[in-house]
Structure 1
Amino acid sequence: MAAKARARSLRATRTTLTQRMLARNDDIAIEVLIDSLFLKCPSPDSQANVDQPILKTTKSSLKYLPLRGFPAADASRIIRDVLIAKGNFAKTEQELFGLPGLQKLTERTLSPTEKQLLRRHLRIYFRMFRPQCPFEIKFINAYDYTRFEAAVFARKPIKAGEFVKYLIGTTARLSDKEEACLRQTGKDFSIVESGKKSVSVLLGPARFVNHDCNPNCRLFTVRSGRMVVEALRNIENGEQITVFYCDDYFGDGNLDCLCATCHGTPPWSVTTIALMTNDRTSSDEAGCQRRKQVGSHRRCTK
């Protein structure tokens, strides 16, 4: 009976997930788990603020307000020392939700159902930090030399026909009004279309997969509200994971596409160090050294 009750609860929770709620959850997740890892790392005698991000991802909400008073440096320490070094999801969640900003949001703003949805979405991102995760997020400027975008790269060989483990996304159906609003405001980078011509927003780790006209992967719907990434051919370690967005995504016939298949790798292209190493290290010195390597890169969108 208890199992049936939990199943009914999960089904009910899924039906309440809207585009607004999913976008908010994803924005919080990447602010807490991605933006916080790229912080300025001052010298020992410096008084600089270590909570200032070097790279920031583009948020999905139309009007996203950063978590007020959120200590990104503390979040970075929790991710490094608890999530990566120990692999403890429960303790990571407990400590993150105890930080100012996130604690205030969950206690004063979110309903119990919304809290459950946020926790579930955060755990989707937690899995990327596991040592067995076959991919990692890096930042590249291959499409525009003036700014860096997130991209997904294989960190071990992936065989054709395999689902890329942990590279998943959550979807929420869009109304015509919501779709039009996202397109008008330039927030349409996460819109996907299903075979039934329904339009949804796709968020989660899979949102960082870039387009290529000759992709090595495809998006695959496994059930309502969940998409995974399937390898179309063997993928080598260090190769960027890509999918085909859709026809006419980059102009008529994708004539404005800047992917590697259409234009090759530009001479100015630079790939930063990976967002996460998955090596379960907890060294503060190593973390600072990694952040120093990307200190000159200030802009990132995706």
Structure 2
Amino acid sequence: MEYSLLSRYDDLLADIFLDGLHLWFRTIKMNADHSERRLPSKQLINIIRNHIIGRNRVTDAAQECLNLDFFKDYLRGVSQKDKSAFGQHMKRYLSMYVPNAGFEICDTRRYSQEGEEAQACVIATKDWSIGDEIKMCSGMIAVLASEDDDELKRQNRDFSVMFSTRKNCSCLFLGPARFMNHDCDSNCKFIPLGQAAITLKVVKDVKCGDELTSFYGDQYFGEDNCECRCVTCERRGNGFFKPPEIEEEIVEEQQEVSARRSTRKRKAVSYEGNIGL
């Protein structure tokens, strides 16, 4: 799917099925001109309850949603190929409500600066063991042309761009799995799922209630991740939590960096296997 189309589809679906039904804050959107859309929550909840919670049939839930007048109007004039892609991406968000999905999207202020809103995180709702794949938590990739990558950088909208070391190119990564935060000693890693999707594989035992994390790269939060706020850096006294140097000039420099630090740049990801892009 073209990256610009994926970004608009994801903005809409995250707004309706995540922000509107589950969260108390708005997740970050790719498009500055995105306008909030709300469908009757009771109607959507009934669809989720009847098809997903009651029968574990995500495809049936997606089909009933697509038959709603709102989505019919939204997709009017769209090619059958793009309609199918939209339906597949919708199922990624509906899969969050499968009772045994093993995760949920929650809120955290660990990565927020003072005065900023909470950000999303992914929390385990059951124990996971090494080697498990969290297939209900997935996302879709769209390969970026160099000019599109540059444009996202200029607009400061590259917060969900991955650099695939296997593909040697930048890719836009959207879907529920994009809300997984970084940790320097993470408990999960990204792996391919089908032709253009990514899911998560557990690399350390996870207890119910733990945050599920992945490793974005050595330089994601500044040089040697010097600005990182993850749990591991806090425990080890590294990154953002590293004690300041005694010299006054170094202390001032660190304070200046802290004031302008950016929470998201881009992830450098090496995938297992061939994602077929």
Scaled by the length of structure 1, what TM-score is found? 0.70
Counterparts of 1:105 and 1:95, CA distance in 2 = 15
Residue equivalent to 1:193: 163
Q: Secondary structure at the match of 1:188?
A: coil
Counterparts of 2:196 and 2:30, CA distance in 1 = 17
1:1-302 maps to which residues of 2 (within 5 A)? Answer: 17-38=1-22, 54-61=24-31, 63-67=33-37, 70-86=38-54, 87-107=56-76, 109-144=77-112, 146=115, 147-196=117-166, 197-264=168-235
Counterparts of 1:62 and 1:178, CA distance in 2 = 16
The alpha carbon displacement at 1:96 in A equals 2.5
Scaled by the length of structure 2, what TM-score is found? 0.76
The alpha carbon displacement at 1:263 in A equals 2.3
The alpha carbon displacement at 1:117 in A equals 0.8
The alpha carbon displacement at 1:63 in A equals 3.5
Task: Report the CA distance shift for 1:143/1:110 in structure 2 as closer, same or farther (over 3 A).
Answer: same
Greater relative contact order (Cα 8 A, min sep 6): structure 1 or 2?
1
The alpha carbon displacement at 1:256 in A equals 1.0
Summarize deviations over 1:148-186 as a string: whole Å, max 9, x none: 111111111111122123122211101111111222222
Task: Report the CA distance shift for 1:243/1:105 in structure 2 as closer, same or farther (over 3 A).
Answer: same
CA RMSD across the alignment: 2.5
Q: Secondary structure at the match of 1:33?
A: helix
> Which runs of 5 or more residues in structure 2 are unaligned?
237-262, 265-277
The alpha carbon displacement at 1:192 in A equals 1.0
Summarize deviations over 1:166-215 as a string: whole Å, max 9, x none: 12221110111111122222221211122232111111121010001111
Q: Secondary structure at the match of 2:152?
A: helix
Counterparts of 1:206 and 1:89, CA distance in 2 = 17
Task: Report the CA distance shift for 1:77/1:169 in structure 2 as closer, same or farther (over 3 A).
Answer: closer
Counterparts of 1:232 and 1:90, CA distance in 2 = 29
Q: Which residue type is aligned with residue 208 of structure 1? A: F
> Which runs of 5 or more residues in structure 1 are unaligned?
1-16, 40-53, 266-300
Summarize deviations over 1:61-88 as a string: whole Å, max 9, x none: 3543444xx4242454335533444244
Counterparts of 1:237 and 1:105, CA distance in 2 = 38
Counterparts of 2:104 and 2:22, CA distance in 1 = 15
Q: Which residue type is aligned with residue 254 of structure 1? A: N
Of 22-31 and 98-107, the range deviating more from structure 2 = 98-107
The alignment of Structure 1 onto Structure 2 pairs a total of residues equal to 234
